[in-house]
Amino acid sequence: MSWKAWSDHPKIVILSLFLTTVATIPVFYEIYDRHKEQLSKVGNPNKEWVMLGNPFSGFSTFRNPEFKKALENEGISLEFKHESNNEKRARLLDNGEAQLIVTSLDQVIQHKPKGKIVGLIDRTTGADAVVVNTVKYPSLKSLKYPSLESLEALRKLAKKEHSKGRKLKIAFTKNNPLEFLVHFLDYKFDKEFELTDFEILEQESIKETWKSLKNDPNVVLAVLFEPFITQARKAGYKVLLSTENTPKAIIDVLVVSKPLLKKQPKKVSKFLEVYYAHINKYLLKPSLMKKQISKDDTELSFQEAENVYKGIHFFTALEANNWLTKGALEDQIKDFGKLLRFSGKIQKDPKKPKEFFTASPIQKTVAIHKSDCKIMEKWEQFRRICKFKPVEEIVGIGIPRTPPITLPSKPITEFDLSSNKITVYFTFSGSSTLTDQNKKNLQQLANKIQQTSSENMVVRVIGHASRTGGKDYNDFLSWQRAHAVEKYLENLGLKNQIIPEGKGYSSLIPEIPKDDPRQQRAEIHLTQINQ
């Protein structure tokens, strides 16, 4: 029928349009019902954001009323909810029950939440630890990492108890980054430490893990984080291994859901701006952070909170941006992927590490902080917050470089392996980068070890620093130097066990000045292990 014919019957036209409209209403309602829950959780700019985390002291800022008030002034309402299970956190983020989660990098790789890492929170330097039950087993008080004899003593005890019909246990929280430390021991000391010698006791929460160490006589090791480590030490337990020994083992990150990133990117940037402003304030006046940690856990005294604070390195906005944009986070994801695959947690190494994070939200925050730094840079205490350095110096922001120098380098062929000591020098302050000569020497060393020894030879790499800059900076820098040598030898195909260790400036060469560049070195010690 032509339009002219229809127009001659206006009632029919109106009735047809009405019926068509009525017929489409159920379709619109179906679409709306399907998406209204997600829209209500993310699309409404005034809706409260839910963040999931655990009682770890490093996350105390997110629970701080002052911080929440500052967010509210920017139109952001935040509710922090406790969820000990990291896998549950990831799934709750996926289905829209939460918009943000704080978790560790290894857990992000393992559980792949539908979100992106937008910021780095902290790198624990002692706030996570493997604790020994020296209350029940006082003979283990002499255990010390990374002593191979200590680990062998622990294994002998496990076998002894097993012969009596008892299997000793290792307790840790299920789907928690603390488990990572146990797998680190298993990965690094595959001959001296075997997980199969122990029964694994997975607990639902950190409080249950702590309780099992106190109440279950078969629990010989438990993995805890602060403030429970401090409580364990007070009760007479001893720390075997902590993230002070492995300063990059646990890195805590902030993950934001993809819908929130898409719909409210400016508010995500504002969230980061407020958070890092608080962190800067606490770094400038550490007593504020210690008070916050003490208030966050009423069982901690101010002095105990100070010990907790010492075990946590908080990232600034500029440090986090460096990690996100200059390859450090990407490299860390690759390294964690290898360990997770070794422990059977994932099947394949991460092929595209950059898919786990985005640097876009932090860019505005960094710009603001750089602007503030122009005003504040004359103040000494702002150096760590405000100064840029290359990624390998990220913990030592603000430490001035000395001019590059050339040190005499002894040909590797002149080294006698029976002396069990070789020194690799680094050429300027703040560096952990191997020179071409260092690489050449290490290549020759690897060849000589492979030609003249078996895999029973353990290679210990001990990094050192000169007395320039602060203790925390140099402790980490010395470990980076040892790790650089370890990584290069592994890439050369050396199959021997390699143990990196950083001593900061605690073992200076007495014959030369404390700030002499020759103090910046890594020593390689070779030890034959009898089978």
CATH number at residue 497: 3.30.1330.60
Same domain, 271 and 363: yes
Six token digits for residue 301: 């005294």
**182 shares its domain with 77:** no
Task: Retrieve residue 491's tokens.
Answer: 């890439």
Domain boundary among 332, 366, 394: 394
CB contact at 8 A, 400 and 452: no
Q: What angle do CA 228, 233, 235 make, to 5 degrees?
A: 95
Residue 422 pLDDT > 70: no
Element spanning 46, H or E: none
The rounded distance, in Å, linking the Cα atoms of 363 and 431 is 26
Q: So what's the pLDDT on residue 10?
A: 59
> Token match 């695959």: residue?
341
Give the bridge partners for 521, in sequence order: 425
Q: pLDDT band for position 75 (50/70/90)?
A: very high
Kindly state whether residues 257 and 378 are assigned to the same domain: yes
User: What burial class does residue 39 get, using C-beta atoms within 10 Å of its C-beta: 0-12 exposed, 13-18 middle, 19+ buried?
Assistant: middle
State the chain's mean pLDDT as an integer: 76
> Are residues 320 and 442 located together in one domain of the fold?
no
Reported in sequence order, the residue ranges of 381-486 that DSSP labels E, i.e. its strands, are: 421-425, 457-463
Same domain, 16 and 112: no
CA distances from 257 to 95, 98, 101, 399, 499 (A): 10, 8, 8, 36, 38
Distance CA 460, CA 79 (A): 47
- How many helices (H) and strands (E) in the chain? 19, 15
Contact by Cβ (8 Å): 521, 431: no
Structure confidence by residue, pLDDT tens digits, 470-516: 676 677 778 888 888 888 888 888 877 787 888 888 888 888 888 78
Phi, psi angle pair for 311, to nearest 5°: -90, 10
What do you get for the CA distance between the two ends of the chain, in Å?
97
Q: Indicate whether 253 and 377 sit together in one domain.
A: yes
The reply to whether 208 and 233 lie within a common domain is yes
Q: For residue 399, tell me if it sits in a domain.
A: no
By the 8 A CB rule, do 128 and 242 touch?
yes
Q: What is the pTM of this model?
A: 0.58
For residue 128, the surrounding DSSP H or E stretch is strand 128-132
**In DSSP terms, which residues pair with 131 in a beta bridge?**
222, 239
Q: Is the residue at 406 inside a domain?
A: no
428 pLDDT tier (thresholds 50, 70, 90): very low
Tell me the chain's radius of gyration from C-alpha atoms.
28
pLDDT at 172: 87
Answer whether 62's CB lies under 8 Å from 78's CB: yes
Q: For position 219, what pLDDT does the model report?
A: 93
Do 416 and 288 share a structural domain?
no
- Of 82-86, 154-158, 210-214, 252-256, the least confident: 154-158
The 10s digit of each residue's pLDDT in 250-299 is: 889 999 999 999 999 999 999 999 999 888 888 777 888 888 888 887 66
Least trusted range by pLDDT, from 97-111, 311-325, 507-521: 507-521
Largest CA distance in the chain: 110
Beta strands in 77-227 (DSSP E): 78-82, 100-104, 115-124, 128-132, 169-173, 199-203, 219-225
Number of domains in the chain: 4
Nearest-CA neighbor of 395 among 331, 318, 332, 507?
A: 318
Residue that wins the pLDDT comparison between 133 and 149 = 133
**Which of 12-16, 306-310, 385-389 is predicted least confidently?**
385-389
Q: Is residue 187 in some structural domain?
A: yes
pLDDT at 37: 46
pLDDT tens, residue by residue, 432-442: 778 887 888 88
Q: Where on the phi/psi map is residue 469: left (φ > 0), alpha (ψ -120 to 50), or beta?
A: left
Is position 285 within any domain? yes
Q: Quick check: helix, strand or coil at residue 253?
A: strand
Q: Are 253 and 372 found together in one domain?
A: yes
Adjacency order of strands within the sheet including 521-528: 421-425, 521-528, 457-463, 498-502
* Closest of 125, 127, 138 to residue 237, by C-alpha: 138
At 487 the pLDDT is 84
* Better-scored residue on pLDDT, 523 or 117: 117
Is the same domain home to 237 and 136?
yes
Range of the domain at 231: 128-242
- 340 within domain boundaries: yes
Percent of the chain at pLDDT > 90 equals: 22
CATH number at residue 95: 3.40.190.10
Alpha-carbon distances, residue 500 vs 410, 487, 488, 508 (angstroms): 22, 10, 12, 18
**Contact indicator for 466, 429 with CB cutoff of 8 Å:** yes
Do residues 302 and 445 both lie within one domain? no
Return the pLDDT at 28: 45
User: Per the domain annotation, does 73 fall within a domain?
Assistant: yes
Shared domain for 468 and 445, answered yes or no, is: yes
Mean pLDDT of 355-376: 73
Most confident segment among 68-77, 376-385, 445-454 = 68-77
- Distance between CA atoms of residues 355 and 254, nearest Å: 15
User: Is the pLDDT at 241 greater than 70, yes or no?
Assistant: yes
Residue 44, in any domain of the structure: no
